[in-house]
């Protein structure tokens, strides 16, 4: 949806210009984007399945390429069911809804009482898990950041993680988010420790969004400063940080990506907002290819209201060079025609890297994720680490365990001694048997501490349950 300030939307014109690579011109009109009416009951009904199958033949089939929609809005069981049925038509795998557990203000500007806030946990999440195989995942939202800071407490963030939420949504709602606001730092640090990214973080510069001038750079600069002060937290900015829509914006976003490894963007509604007078398909394609590990697929569809055909148009914008207008009927431009390794990142690899539950659901559906794809590694998550129970005789074997991300260090403590473990880069670690030879015979507790590249640390201990018996 809209950013931290009110913004205009564009209507598609029918004119064309032979001198432009872009194949349609848009006459910008001051039209506010409807809040929940992109695809109402007036939308065309689903086309025949045969037609959908014909469309799918020209793009990558879902069997070989799962798709995770990072940015949708649903809040009812019938919408979840409808969404899954649509995903089966257009090739989607998981949809993440940002409609859950909104904290809202009352008329006096105070935090609303729990009785007046719809509580998504419980029946809705159980329904999605048991009836829909977790193909709908949930993110709680905070729609305002008042002067006193974020409404979530550290304990609430921990509870969200326990309940099964996969991230946290922030919407400044007209406020400029700065590091000077009190009571945001503990919450953002806790989000990093819990491995819960700040999803659909809403802020933006209206100048860049309209493709004319950097009118309010402070909005972005202050927000990026917050991300810089919390390197262990992951920030996924909604709508491409309102920079993917123009050449000028992409230049600024490239500089942000280069400097801040914890900043990511989704592409929800981006293609509808492209500024034809300042947008090169070739430059956008180059940008998506270079920054493939920082961009996530999203649609901004409300109430599961888009047709399968509309989703297929959005896919064609990414997967082919076909001229189309995307899911929200924006300007008709050539598709980006991205290669498979780039699409893999946008559609599912990045979300699996940042959200553990996404990875688990995909792997349960028999998609192989792996731990590395080129130079791209799992390094944004807190490293969950375990020690395998083992009993060694005279011929000792390796001490082993599991770890869910690529680590910077693995420190193993046994009988007062410290060892450096080896990360096998495949979800497991080991301590070679040669290093165990100096240990006395008997049972020993084992403690392993894993740290990843951004300094997040997790520990597992064998206290009382797992022991190492060494006999010499």
Confidence of residue 257 (pLDDT cuts 50, 70, 90): very high
Q: What is the mean pLDDT of residues 120-142?
A: 82
Rounded CA-CA distance 459/447 in Å is: 7
> How confident is the model over 219-243, as pLDDT tens digits?
667 788 889 999 989 999 988 888 8
Residue predicted with more confidence, 334 or 286: 286
Summarize pLDDT for 295-316 with one digit per residue, the tens.
Answer: 999 998 887 778 888 888 889 9
Give yes or no: residues 209 and 352 share one domain.
yes
Task: Determine, yes or no, domain membership for 131.
Answer: yes
Q: Do both 278 and 320 map to the same domain? A: yes
Q: Is the pLDDT of residue 203 over 80?
A: no
153 and 139 Cβ atoms separated by less than 8 Å: no
Q: In angstroms, rounded to a whole number, what is the distance separating the alpha carbons of residues 230 and 192?
A: 8
Pair (347, 412) in one structural domain: no
In terms of residues, how long is the chain?
472
Q: Residue 405's pLDDT is what?
A: 80
Tell me if 3 sits within 8 A of 143, measured CB to CB.
Answer: no
pLDDT at 145 over 90: no
Q: d(Cα 241, Cα 311) in Å, to the nearest integer?
A: 22
- Of residues 136, 201, 189, the one with CA closest to residue 158: 189
Asked if 172 and 271 sit in the same domain, the reply is yes
* 46 in a structural domain: no
Q: Tens digits of per-residue pLDDT, 44-79?
A: 333 333 344 444 444 566 667 899 999 998 878 889
Two structure tokens written together for 384: 């969950």
pLDDT of res. 92: 93
Structure tokens at 437: 């030879």
pLDDT greater than 60 at residue 317? yes
Model confidence, pTM: 0.76
What pLDDT is attached to residue 342?
A: 94
Distances (CA, A) of 88 to 52, 63, 79, 143, 430: 11, 11, 14, 31, 41
Per the CB < 8 A criterion, the answer to whether 324 and 313 are in contact is yes
> How far apart (Å, rounded) are the C-alpha atoms in residues 350 and 296?
6
Look-up: residue for tokens 């940015």?
Answer: 71
Q: How far apart are CA 338 and CA 113, in angstroms?
A: 47
Domain of 89: which CATH number? 3.20.20.140
Residues 361, 392 share a domain = no
Quick one: 351 and 455 in the same domain? Answer: no
Query: What is the domain count for the chain?
Result: 2
More confident residue, 9 or 95: 95
Question: Are 347 and 434 in the same domain?
Answer: no
Domain interval for residue 426: 385-468
pLDDT of 121 reads: 52
Give residue-wise pLDDT tens across range 342-400: 999 999 999 998 998 999 999 898 887 766 654 556 677 788 888 887 766 554 578 89
Indicate if the pLDDT at residue 144 is higher than 50: yes
In this structure, the answer to whether residues 161 and 282 fall within a common structural domain is: yes
What is the spatial distance between Cα 8 and Cα 3, in angstroms, rounded to a whole number? 11
Q: Clarify whether residues 153 and 244 are in a common domain.
A: yes
For residue 57, tell me if it sits in a domain.
no
Express each pLDDT in 412-449 by its tens digit. Answer: 998 889 999 999 888 899 999 888 877 777 788 889 99
Strands 468-470 and 390-391 turn out to be: parallel
pLDDT of residue 396: 59
The per-residue pLDDT of the chain, averaged, comes to: 74
Kindly list the distances between the CA atom of residue 412 and the CA atoms of 17, 62, 380, 468, in Å, as whole numbers in the listed order.
65, 42, 22, 12
Give CA–CA dist 452/403, Å, rounded. Answer: 10
Residues 331 and 434 in one domain: no
Joined together, the tokens standing for residue 79 give 């919408």
* Claim to verify: residue 220 and residue 79 sit in the same structural domain: yes
Say if residue 338's pLDDT is above 90.
Answer: yes
Is 283 found in the same domain as 345? yes
Residue with tokens 């270079």: 290
In this structure, is residue 8 part of a structural domain? no
């Amino acid at each position: 949806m809209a950013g931290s300030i009110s913004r205009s939307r564009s209507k598609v014109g029918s004119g064309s210009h032979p001198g432009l690579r872009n194949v349609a011109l848009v006459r910008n009109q001051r039209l506010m984007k409807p809040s929940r009416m992109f695809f109402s009951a007036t939308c065309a009904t689903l086309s025949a399945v045969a037609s959908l199958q014909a469309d799918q033949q020209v793009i990558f089939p879902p069997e070989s390429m799962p798709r995770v929609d990072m940015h949708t809005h649903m809040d009812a069981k019938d919408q979840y069911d409808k969404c899954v049925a649509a995903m089966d038509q257009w090739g989607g795998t998981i949809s993440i809804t940002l409609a859950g557990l909104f904290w809202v203000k009352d008329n006096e500007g105070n935090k609303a009482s729990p009785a007046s806030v719809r509580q998504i946990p419980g029946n809705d999440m159980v329904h999605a898990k048991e009836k829909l195989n977790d193909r709908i995942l949930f993110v709680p939202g905070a729609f305002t950041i008042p002067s006193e800071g974020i409404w979530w407490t550290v304990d609430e963030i921990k509870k969200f993680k326990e309940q099964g939420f996969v991230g946290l949504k922030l919407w400044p709602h007209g406020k400029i988010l700065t590091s000077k606001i009190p009571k945001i730092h503990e919450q953002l640090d806790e989000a990093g420790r819990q491995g819960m990214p700040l999803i659909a973080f809403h802020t933006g510069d209206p100048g860049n969004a309209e493709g004319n001038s950097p009118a309010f750079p402070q909005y972005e600069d202050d927000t990026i400063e917050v991300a810089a002060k919390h390197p262990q937290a992951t920030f996924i900015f909604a709508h491409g940080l309102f920079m993917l829509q123009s050449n000028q914006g992409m230049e600024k976003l490239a500089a942000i990506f280069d400097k801040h490894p914890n900043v990511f963007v989704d592409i929800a509604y981006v293609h509808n907002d492209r500024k034809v007078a300042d947008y090169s398909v070739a430059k956008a394609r180059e940008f998506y290819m270079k920054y493939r590990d920082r961009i996530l697929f999203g649609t901004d569809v409300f109430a599961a209201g888009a047709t399968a055909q509309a989703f297929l148009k959005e896919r064609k914008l990414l997967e082919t060079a076909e001229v189309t207008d995307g899911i929200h009927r924006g300007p008709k431009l050539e598709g980006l025609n991205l290669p498979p390794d780039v699409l893999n990142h946008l559609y599912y690899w990045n979300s699996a890297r940042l959200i553990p539950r996404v990875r688990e659901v995909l792997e349960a559906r028999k998609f192989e994720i792996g731990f590395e794809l080129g130079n791209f590694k799992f390094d944004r998550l807190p490293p969950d680490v375990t020690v395998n129970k083992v009993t060694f005789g005279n011929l000792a074997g390796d001490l082993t365990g599991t770890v869910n991300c690529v680590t910077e260090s693995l420190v193993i403590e046994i009988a007062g001694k410290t060892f450096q473990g080896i990360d096998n880069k495949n979800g497991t670690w080991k301590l070679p048997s040669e290093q165990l030879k100096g240990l006395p015979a008997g049972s020993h507790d084992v403690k392993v501490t894993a740290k990843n590249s951004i300094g997040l640390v997790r520990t597992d201990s064998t206290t009382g349950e797992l022991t190492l018996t060494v006999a010499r």
